[in-house]
Amino acid sequence: MFNKRTRIKDLLQSDKVNYQTTVMGWVRTFRNNQFIALNDGSTNNNLQVVVALGSLDETTLKRITTGACIKAVGEIIPSLGKGQKVELTATSVEILGDSDAEKFPLQPKKHSLEFLREIAHLRFRTNTFGAVFRVRHSLAFAIHEFFNKKGFVYLHTPIVTASDAEGAGEMFKVTTLPLDGTAPKNEDGSINFKEDFFGRSTNLTVSGQLEGELAAMAFSDIYTFGPTFRAENSNTTRHLAEFWMIEPEMAFSDLEDNMNLAEEFIKYIIRYAMEHNKEDLEFLTQRLDEEEKQKPQNDRSEMGLLQKLEFVVNNDFERITYTEAIDILKESNHNKKKKFNYLIDKWGVDLQSEHERYLVEKHFKKPVILTNYPKEIKAFYMRQNDDGKTVAAMDILAPGIGEIVGGSQREERYDKLTERMTEMHIPLEELDWYLDTRRFGACPHAGFGLGFERIVQFVTGMGNIRDVIPFPRYPKSASF
């Protein structure tokens, strides 16, 4: 068997010494023809591999370069060097893969995040991205653990969908028809999608919610966790064209149950990462501290990353209605001094991210759950409140990010739902399958969508969403 090796994380965590072992990994640095800093991705901490002077021939020594992949066999001994308990004295070093030091783009120095984005295929091998993607993994794992423990069924909703009535965002078209103008046409000149692969016009999904609702009407509690696509041309630090979303849907639940679950869920996965990725989060906290030092005093955040996470898991989220939020914003000095790009002058306007950030970062200084939005600015499926003006929606806003969760109690009343769909010009025939849930055994139910990358951003403190997904897709960019 080739892969009989010890993970570097396990070696460094253990106090055991004086035994033979094999390690494999990538060379971060090689000093004095003697000290290899070896990393295998299990932790940011490198194992010091000491090559006994004179034990390796000149050719092998030359091939131990930054980026090269090696296998080292030797004895684990207590380390005399600072910062590590143990090291490996190598009796043999085998080069598994050479790396031309002149050409390897990752030099042992600080690179900018922008540069690393250009070489996203190699950035996994840096400390920052090592930490980010291990934390991302833990959060994904914690999500499944959370719902599994609660008895939710993990539902796989389709990636290719025919419905374009969800209105969650601009969609990417899926077609096998030729793009050179020879696609079959209808009499009126429009494309004849009956001739297309699926016999109709199809898109990439923007949300699995509607399908999720169908399953919740059978399993009671379900969740989805899959890719979603939005062709929105938003070049922000919080939007991707391809992102992952978690969408739980619960039968027998109202808006309050929904908020309680979302808050418990967010705290659970953050706590999980804090327990399982301590070193990575300490590293990311330091990274952020250094980044913050570059900013003017006023723009710096008051808490470090770990301190912020600690605070979030130990405190209740603030819960206020949209109407209360509008009052706070309208009366704020920020609004009076015209510091918002969009001034808040009346009830009914949609909140911009500057308003959301004001509420969480300046006013409440903690995550905020906003509820009961005007129905005009929310989706057709949200449950209408008795006031005739608002719907039972809830958005969760997080410091530094803005919206991380969007959810609602769903309109389970057939008449109310179809009435609203008609008002919003949503063709009932297209969603006939969805309406069946309201025809046959409907019940109060609720759910939400959490943007996975937004929570990864929040937990890792990374400023740009493009740096928390391995290969980001955004306008004019789909490399790798």
Footprint on this chain of ligand ATP (rule: CB under 6 A): 168-169, 230, 232, 238-240, 243, 245, 403-406, 449, 451, 453-454
| Minimum CB–partner distance for residue 241 and ligand ATP (Å) | 7
| Minimum CB–partner distance for residue 379 and ligand ATP (Å) | 8
| Minimum CB–partner distance for residue 236 and ligand ATP (Å) | 8
| Minimum CB–partner distance for residue 210 and ligand ATP (Å) | 13
| Minimum CB–partner distance for residue 226 and ligand ATP (Å) | 12
Judged by CB, which is closer to ligand ATP: 47, or 142?
142
| Minimum CB–partner distance for residue 242 and ligand ATP (Å) | 8
Are the C-beta atoms of 446 and 212 separated by less than 8 Å? no
Question: What's the per-residue H, E or C state across the chain?
Answer: CCCCCCCHHHHHHCCCCCEEEEEEEEEEEEECCCEEEEECCCCCCCEEEEECCCCCCHHHHHHCCCCCEEEEEEEEEECCCCCCCEEEEEEEEEEEECCCCCCCCCCCCCCCHHHHHHCCCCHHHCHHHHHHHHHHHHHHHHHHHHHHHCCCEECCCCCEECCCCCCCCCCCEECCCCCCCCCCECCCCCECHHHCCCCCCEEECCCCHHHHHHHHHHHCEEEEEEEEECCCCCCCCCCCCEEEEEEEEEECCCHHHHHHHHHHHHHHHHHHHHHHCHHHHHHHHHHHHHHHHCCCHHHCCCCCHHHHHHHHHHCCCEEEEHHHHHHHHHHCHHHHCCCCCCCCCCCCCCCCHHHHHHHHHHHHCCCEEEEEEEHHHCCCCECECCCCCEEEEEEEEECCCEEEEEEEEECCCHHHHHHHHHHCCCCCHHHHHHHHHHHCCCCCEEEEEEEHHHHHHHHHCCCCHHHCCCCCCECCECCC
| Minimum CB–partner distance for residue 395 and ligand ATP (Å) | 7
Judged by CB, which is closer to ligand ATP: 195, or 350?
350
Q: Report the Cα–Cα distance between both ends of the chain, in Å, rounded.
A: 32
| Minimum CB–partner distance for residue 378 and ligand ATP (Å) | 9
CA angle, corner 299, sides to 312 and 313, nearest 5? 5
| Minimum CB–partner distance for residue 114 and ligand ATP (Å) | 19
**CA 333 – CA 328 distance, rounded (Å):** 10
| Minimum CB–partner distance for residue 342 and ligand ATP (Å) | 14
Judged by CB, which is closer to ligand ATP: 41, or 169?
169
Judged by CB, which is closer to ligand ATP: 41, or 400?
400
